[in-house]
Amino acid sequence: MEKERVIIIGSGPAGLTAAIYTARAQLNPLVIAGTQIGGQIAITSEVENYPGFWSPERTPTGPELVEIMQKQAEHFGARLEYDEVVAVDFTKGSPFYIKTYGKEYMADAVIVTAGASPRRLGVPGEEEFIGRGVSYCGTCDGFFFRGKDVIVVGGGDSALEEGLFLTKFADSVQVVHRRDEFRAGPALQKRAAANEKMSFVWNTVVEEIEGNGSVQAVKARNVKTGDVQTLAVDGVFIFIGHYPNSKFLEGQLAMDEHGYVITDELMRTSVPGVYAAGEIQDAIYRQIGTSVGQGVAAGMQTERWLSERE
C-alpha cells in the first residue's frame, strides 16, 4: 500500500488549487484526478467571470484555465493520478485509507474536492436517449446539433449560458422553464432575449422524451393550464442544477440532507485531518472563484494541521 502525506480527491479548481498550495508547502501532494481533469470547468465554453484572464479581445475557455492550473500544480511538485476513488475509511483517524479502482493508499491528510454532477430530470426517455439527443453539456455536444432544433430545460445561469452557446450550432433553441421568470442573472437574460434563435416556453415541464433511436420530440405540460403539447426537437439539453459527488463518503463524513459535506470556516470536515473544498461542500456559490478560494483555505489548513501534529 502506498503512503502519502496529502491526497487530494478531485481535480477541479478547488482540487488543483489545494494541490498548488500543498505542493508549494513541500507536502508532495497526490491528486486523484477522477475521470476528467478539471471537473466541470473542463466542459465550460467561455469563462467571463473569473478574474485575471479576461480581456476585451478574448474570453478564456474552461479547458484553457484547467491546463494552466494543472501545469502550475505540477510545476510545484503535485502528482496527478488518473483514477477514481471507490471507497475510503476515515473512521480510524490519520493515516486515512483510500481505495481507487487501481490502488490502495494511506494518507496523513486528505482534501476532498470531488465536486458535483448535473441533476437528472427523471422522466421517461431521459436515460434511454443520453448521448442520442439528451445531453447535460452544450459545450461537449453542441457541435452535433448543427442545423437542428433543440430545447434547453431550466431557468438558471447554466440554462441560458449553455442555450446561448448552442445557438452557434442549432437553428433554434427553445428554453423550457417551469416558472414564468428566470433565476438567471440579468446580463444573461438580456443576451438571451436579444438572440433571434432563442425562444421561451414558460410555466412548462418536460414529462417525457420520445424518439426512435434518437430524440424526436418531448411531451411538455403547462403547469398553469394543464395543457400537454408535443414539441418536435432533435436535442434536449438539461440544466436543472447539480448534486454533490459524495456517495463514496457516506458514513465517513457528516453531510447535510442533500449530501453536501459539512465544513466549517476553516474547511474542516467532521474528521480531523480531512478537509473539503469546492462544490462537494458548497451548494450556494458554485463559482470557479469561490472554489479556488476554498481550495486555498483547505490547502493552508492541511499544512497547518500536519505541522502542528509533528
Question: Is residue 16 involved in binding ligand NAP (CB under 6 A)?
Answer: no
Q: Which residue has the cell 436515460?
A: 127
Could you give the CA distance from residue 86 to residue 72 in angstroms, rounded to a whole number?
27
Assess 286 for contact with ligand NAP (CB under 6 A).
yes
9, 59 Cβ separation under 8 angstroms: no
User: Which residues 6+ apart lie within 8 Å of 219 measured at CB?
Assistant: 206, 207, 208, 210, 228, 229, 230
Q: How many CB atoms lie within 10 A of CB 187?
A: 12
Residue 282 touching ligand NAP (CB under 6 A)? no
Which stretch in 105-113, 153-161, 167-175, 219-227 sits in contact with ligand NAP by CB under 6 A? 153-161
Site size toward ligand NAP (CB under 6 A) is 18
Q: Cβ closer to ligand NAP: 32 or 164? A: 164
List 137, 157, 234, 282, catalytic entry: 137
Which string of x and - marks every residue 35-54 that binds ligand NAP (by CB under 6 A)? --------------x-----
- The C-alpha cell at 48 is 467571463
Which is the catalytic residue, given 83, 89, 140, 157?
Answer: 140
Q: Is 157 a catalytic residue?
A: no
CA–CA gap between residue 47 and residue 109 (Å, rounded) = 32
What string marks each residue from 176 to 195 as x (binds ligand NAP by CB under 6 A) or -? --xx---x------------
Q: Is 108 a catalytic residue?
A: no
Q: CA separation (Å) from 121 to 22, 84, 117, 125?
A: 39, 26, 13, 10
Residue nearest to ligand NAP (CB): 156
What is the CA angle 58-51-277, rounded to 5?
130
Cα torsion at 281, 285, 289, 295 (round to 10°)?
-10
User: Is residue 136 involved in binding ligand NAP (CB under 6 A)?
Assistant: no
Distance in Å from the first CA to the final CA of the chain:
22
Catalytic residue among 83, 89, 108, 141: 141
Q: Binding ligand NAP by CB under 6 A: which of 130, 205, 223, 231?
A: 205
Nearer to ligand NAP, 60 or 241 (CB): 241
Give the range of 17-25, 215-223, 239-247, 262-270 binding ligand NAP by CB under 6 A.
239-247
**Nearest to ligand NAP of 77, 289 (CB atom):** 289
Q: How far apart are CA 70 and CA 16, in angstroms?
A: 6
Query: Is 140 labeled as catalytic in the residue annotation?
Result: yes
Which residues in this chain contact ligand NAP in the complex, by CB under 6 A? 49, 121, 153-159, 161, 178-179, 183, 205, 239-241, 286
Active centre residues (catalytic): 137, 140-141
